[in-house]
Amino acid sequence: MPIGKPKEPKAPKKEKKQKPPKEKKPKKGKGGAPEAAEQGEQGEQPEKKKLPLIFLLIPAVVIVAAAVILFVFILPGRNADDPAEPTPSVEPSPPVLPSELPVGENVVPGMVLGSDEYLAQAVPAKTITYTYTDLVDAGKVAETYVGQLKGADPKFSMVDEEFVRVKESPDFTAPEGMVLMARNLPKPEPEPTASPEGEESADPEASSSPEAEQSPEVPESQAPVEEPESKVLTVRIQWSPGQCVVTADEELGKVTSPKPQQTSHGSISMSGAQTRLEGMSPAQLELPGESMDAYEVMAMDGTEMVNGAACIRLNVYNGKNAENSYQFMGGYLMSIDGQHLYRLDPVTNEIHELDYQP
């Protein structure tokens, strides 16, 4: 039997009352009252999860890549198959030439060329002709003009048609005649050729070494410099009763002296050549002054070749009483037969024959 009082049964626990969900207040300006009531009846729904940003960028990248492939690879390939447009051919145009050639008061029609001569040019000639009319003595006028050209600076020489100097003058007393005067024109200096870049030695000591000076290397690709052609300025004088025609022109060639001929005159000695030079006038030797007494003439040992003939060298100096005593004034070469005398230009080192008669 149980001892004591029986335990009284515990009273049942009170059931907790479930609080109804709080109604969410609708936002101002938005009609959300019905939705709130429905949510209150059905209960809260779970919130949706947001997708990561990278999943949103993938479609944009795919679209950009497709556009690049379309414009870079597909569209240019379609245009490549199209045939290229033919280039229209250009016909050469006829050259532009003078339509008229004035001759005094008259006009001559100019030359007309076709398109096949599209490279043609009309270069005016350098020939100048003057006619002197109403002359009393045309031969004397021509003789005076020849003397004027001989004394010009630079002077002209009387030549033949081959530009070889002649000594015999024409007969100016004849009713008609012709004489040709000419002088050499200076040659234009060739343009310096610039050395290609990068050919200079990087080591300055190597370029100045004795081995480099003894054996300079010339590039094989360097083309030889062409020497300019020699030209002469000519004056042709033709006279006839009452008139004289003077024609000046520029022609290719060179004024030269005739080759000495072996004659029976024998050879001249050094002292004989010196005596002949001392007996000439300074004007004949192209020197200033009135007498050779103001100069000293010295014959040099040895001979030099001019036009295939041996010549004696003679130097002329100022006299001892001059302001610049024994100053070199000019060098001369007299052929050993005594028939030719040449002057050596101290500046250009060129030789030209003087009008000399032994």
C-alpha distances in angstroms, 106 versus 130, 246, 247, 249? 17, 21, 20, 23
Residue 195 CA to residue 201 CA, distance in Å, equals 12
Question: How big is the CA angle at 56 (ends 52 and 59), to the nearest 5 degrees?
Answer: 145
- The structure's pTM equals 0.47
- Tell me, yes or no, whether 303 lies in a domain: yes
Do residues 144 and 240 both lie within one domain? yes
- Tell me, yes or no, whether 286 lies in a domain: yes
Instruction: Determine the pLDDT at residue 57.
Output: 74
Do residues 248 and 134 both lie within one domain? yes
Cα 191 to its chain centre, rounded Å, is: 7
C-alpha distances in angstroms, 122 versus 97, 107, 125, 281, 335? 6, 16, 9, 50, 48
Do residues 161 and 237 both lie within one domain? yes
- Tell me, yes or no, whether 80 lies in a domain: no
- Tell me, yes or no, whether 134 lies in a domain: yes
Do residues 235 and 277 both lie within one domain? no
Do residues 321 and 288 both lie within one domain? yes
Please say whether the beta carbons of 184 and 257 come within 8 A.
Answer: no
The chain-wide mean pLDDT, for the chain, equals 75
The count of structural domains within the chain is: 2
Instruction: Determine the pLDDT at residue 85.
Output: 65
Do residues 157 and 240 both lie within one domain? yes
Instruction: Determine the pLDDT at residue 1.
Output: 45
Last residue of a domain, one of 221, 256, 291: 256
- Provide the terminal-to-terminal Cα distance of the chain, rounded to the nearest Å: 193
pLDDT above 70: percentage of residues in the chain: 65
User: Is 50 exceeded by the pLDDT of residue 240?
Assistant: yes
- Tell me, yes or no, whether 339 lies in a domain: yes
| Domain around 274 | 270-353
Please say whether the beta carbons of 135 and 145 come within 8 A.
Answer: no
Q: Which two tokens stand for residue 90?
A: 């250009």
User: Is 50 exceeded by the pLDDT of residue 273?
Assistant: yes
From the list 220, 216, 223, the residue with the least C-alpha distance to 201 is: 216
- Once rounded to an integer, what is the mean pLDDT over residues 339-353? 83
- Tell me, yes or no, whether 54 lies in a domain: no
Do residues 246 and 319 both lie within one domain? no
Instruction: Determine the pLDDT at residue 250.
Output: 92
244 SS3 class = strand
Q: How confident is the model at residue 11 (pLDDT cuts 50, 70, 90)?
A: low
Please say whether the beta carbons of 243 and 133 come within 8 A.
Answer: yes
Q: Which two tokens stand for residue 143?
A: 């003789």
- Tell me, yes or no, whether 275 lies in a domain: yes
Is omega for the bond preceding 59 within 30 degrees of 0, making it cis? no
Q: How confident is the model at residue 309 (pLDDT cuts 50, 70, 90)?
A: confident
Do residues 176 and 246 both lie within one domain? yes
Do residues 248 and 284 both lie within one domain? no
- Tell me, yes or no, whether 10 lies in a domain: no
Q: Which two tokens stand for residue 56?
A: 């949103």
